[in-house]
Amino acid sequence: MPGVSLLRPATPQKVNASMKSLLTDCKEGGMLIYPGADGGIPGEARPENVKALIEAAKKSGTY
C-alpha cells in the first residue's frame, strides 16, 4: 500500500490510480482509513495530488 509520501513526488494521475486500486482492493471488507494511519497529509504534499486523492476517494471509495 502506498503511503502518503506518494503525495509529494508523484503526479495526480499516479495518485488517482494508486488510490483507485487501494480502494477497490479494500471495498469488500471495508474499514479503510486513509490518510492518517501513517501521520496524515504531509506539509510538502503537492496541492494537485491532495486534490487527486480526494477526488479518487469520492469516486472510488463508495460502496
Domain boundaries of the chain, sorted by first residue: 4-60
What does the alpha-carbon distance between residue 36 and residue 38 come to, in Å, rounded to a whole number?
5
Q: What is the CA radius of gyration of the chain?
A: 11
**pLDDT tens by residue, 23-61:** 887 777 666 665 555 567 888 889 999 899 889 888 887
Angle among Cα 32, 10, 22 to the nearest 5 degrees reads: 20
3-state helix vs strand vs coil in the chain, percent to 5: 50, 0, 50
**The pLDDT value given to residue 1:** 42
Question: Grid coordinates representing 44?
Answer: 510538502
**The pLDDT value given to residue 19:** 86
